[in-house]
Chains A and B, each alone.
Chain A
Amino acid sequence: MALEAVIGLECHIQVATRTKMFCGCPAEFGAAPNSNVCPVCLGLPGALPVANRAAVDAALRLGLALGCEIREESVFARKNYFYPDMPKNYQITQYDRPMCEGGALPVALAAGSRGFPLIRIHVEEDTGKSFHPERHGDRRISRVDFNRAGVPLLELVTQPAFRDPAECAAFLTALRRLVRWLGISDGEMEKGHLRCDANVSLRPAGQSELGTKTEIKNLNSIRGVERGVTAEIARQNLARLSGERIEQATLLYDADHDRLAVMRSKEHAHDYRYFPEPDLPRLRVEAAWRDEARAALPELPWTRAARLEREYAVPAYDAQVLGERRELCDYFEDCARGADGKLASNWIMTEVLRMTNERGWSIDDWARRVPPDRLREFLARVSARDIPGPLAKQVFTWLADEEGGVAELLDRHRVRVQASRDDLLPLVREVLNQNPGPVAQYRGGKIATLGFLVGQVMKKSAGQAVPQVVQDLLKAELGGQRPPS
């Protein structure tokens, strides 16, 4: 009997606000332990939460981008359980009336784009951090730091819509792109900006009801999600083969050893006793706020990729790569407007990405150095066959490192582009004279020899000739003795 996997994801997105969800402490990463804390996020007696508008706005924008229904009045709730990294021993989250419901995230897969449906998105607070146990004198202890406690999180829960781990990975990649696109989060999984739990169950293919599911926690990278889910599907398959029943369980994925560990918990441990948070009013997102946020929403990555394909005649692959990042798209469009789109995308996808990568620059850093008008001029020269290929790469580097237009750069570096017939004709004739053999071969019908002759001229010009011009000249010179067709 063929089994199919059914996978649902629960993602936590850390919102890049200045301050925490319910207090004015900096939400930044990397401060000294317990120095970004206050009575509220430390859970001191008497302290009270007040919700951060920017975090709510982030949830709103994400919800709108994904086509969720936005609840005008959602409710914060307390989730009660004891854990040392949770200052109040309850987490303020949303429960039966979350802010956003429904919606879907379109994901580009090999077989085409597919929308993965969501159940909900809600706002909540992050926990602090506890560290691995260590020796301390004659006993063992753990250290706890609450700097992260209270940082705003968006929890996004998908329908159990995934059938294989690769789909999960593609979904997360698309989600990461979207939260960056919207400026909601830096989306770096290694830094915990984006975290993911997965629910996995197996069922006979074609059956509609779901099998017993297990939950995998601690999936800290896209690869980890893929591998953790793969491991769990394998484990459940094996268990079924040996006739075992799948028990509902929480598993921890250990990425270092590619291993799953079952989390032990006491019976009845999961009774979270949710109830509406009495310290907070209902969370009101009035129509005006919602409409304003909707109007201010940028063009979304999936729509934009399609438009790039259409408007700039770039291949789908290019559109996908450019569509990875909003600032990259913006830069591309600024450069490609009225230019050769494919040429622009070639240069941006290869050279711009390579150089920014090598130098650790952001696209914005790059755009400050090479504003679109400078790149446009460069592209125009390349497209007019004004700059030979090898030289073009060199000029591109100068563009990034120096000021000035293309002509200025060439001057400064004492490069004279030999593009005119008059410049090149002597070299062409010299090459023809020095290579009677290949000339004869060409004339004898071996057209490929032309490439060799072009190479020779280029060599003589020290790379400053434009190959297309050289080729045209060579053909003309040999033209009298056109090879038989």
Chain B
Amino acid sequence: MAIHREELIRIAELARLEVPEEDRDAMCRQLSEVLEFAESLRRLDLEGCEPSVFAPADSPLRDDRPDARRLDAARATAGAPESEDGFFLVPPIVENLEP
């Protein structure tokens, strides 16, 4: 199997997701199945194939001019679970700890 439990826990942590103990084996199996399927790409001759880029090459840069999309603080925070005086509120950010 391509993904083991430790690996699953590591990526779940990176993704800020929790996989309950009882679901871990099934999740490992499902992810591994897809990855094993993806192994089929090894059979594809990729000689001379650069990685794809999809955004068009001629796309213009933006002029340094303000536009009309700006929101005021009330609208900016309207959808927030918790806000006050125009600020978003979150649990304390401890500076020397990665959230």
Contacts and interface: CB of A to CB of B under 8 A. Distances in A.
Contact flag (A, B; Cβ within 8 A): yes
Interface of A: 17-19, 22-26, 32-40, 42, 50-56, 82-85, 130-133, 136, 139-146, 252, 261-266, 268-269, 271, 273, 276, 278-282, 284
B16 interface: yes
B20 to A, nearest CB: 20
B59 A133 contact: no
B73 A56 contact: no
A85 B87 CA distance: 12
Contacts of A131: 87
A142 B16 contact: no
B84 to A, nearest CB: 8
Given A141-B89, A276-B53, A52 B98 contact: no
B61 A142 contact: no
Contact of A82 (B64, B97, B99): B99
Interface string B52-77: 01111111011111111111110011
A144 B55 CA distance: 33
Given A23-B67, A35-B72, 6 more contacts: A24-B67, A25-B69, A42-B71, A136-B89, A141-B90, A142-B92
A455 to B, nearest CB: 61
Question: What secondary structure prevails in chain B residues at the interface with A?
Answer: loop
B69 A39 contact: yes
Given A252-B95, A276-B53, A19 B65 contact: yes
A19 B65 CA distance: 6
Given A24-B69, A42-B71, A271-B14, A281 B59 contact: yes
Given A34-B88, A42-B71, A142-B93, A281 B55 contact: yes
A415 to B, nearest CB: 51
A130 B89 CA distance: 9
A55 B62 CA distance: 10
A34 B85 CA distance: 10
Contact of A261 (B68, B91, B96): B96
